[in-house]
Amino acid sequence: MSKLENRTYDELTVGDKAHVSHSVSERDLTLFAAVSGDVNPVHLDEAFAAATPFKGRIAHGMFSGALISAAIACELPGPGSIYIGQELSFMRPVRLGDSLRVELEILEKLPKNRVKIATRVFNQDDKQVVDGVATVMAPTEKVSIEKPELPTVQVS
């Protein structure tokens, strides 16, 4: 089992970086639709999506947002972080099978343990698909915990 360890506000420095990777699967889109309630056919119906300007299914925009949230919560600053705000620009569609890389970079340290974090997502071709900036309350106490195992969820 792996560990999750945070970086406290005092340990953070402007320019600190972290990244996580994720390959977008059919299961991701189905589970995200089920949890969010967003069943727009551009995400779930190939025939419908083929007739759109995207010429095929695309992932929910906020799926990328959720990957950013996970990267903040688990990597930088990590456990104990509190999301305050997020600006996002969706630059390109994310498609099934895309391999995404979420990149975080500390841009600024603010009062009250807050930090501004660049939140960028790139696809396997190194093309940026999402650009944004998050405001996060960084933890003040050091935490190192076992990463919880998620239950297996069957998708029908």
CATH number at residue 122: 3.10.129.10
Q: How far is CA 11 from the centre of its chain?
A: 23
| Domains held by the chain: number | 1
* CA distance linking residue 132 with residue 127, whole number of Å: 15
Residue 90 included in any domain: yes
Residue 85 included in any domain: yes
Spell out the alpha helix ranges (H) of the chain. Answer: 26-36, 41-44, 46-50, 61-74
| Residue-range definition of the domain harbouring residue 110 | 3-23+60-142
Residue 100 included in any domain: yes
| H or E element in which residue 63 lies | helix 61-74
Residue-wise pLDDT tens digits, 71-115: 999 999 999 999 999 999 999 999 999 999 999 999 999 999 999
Q: What pLDDT, on the 0 to 100 scale, is given for residue 84? A: 97
Residue 41 included in any domain: no
| Omega within 30 of 0 (cis) for the link into 77 | yes
- The beta strand positions in 94-143, using DSSP E, are 99-110, 114-122, 128-137
Cα angle: 100, vertex 86, 23; to 5 degrees: 15
In a 3-state reduction of DSSP, which class is residue 108?
strand
* CA distance linking residue 114 with residue 82, whole number of Å: 9
Residue 134 included in any domain: yes
Residue-wise pLDDT tens digits, 11-68: 999 999 999 999 999 999 999 999 999 999 999 999 999 999 999 999 999 999 999 9
Residue 33 included in any domain: no
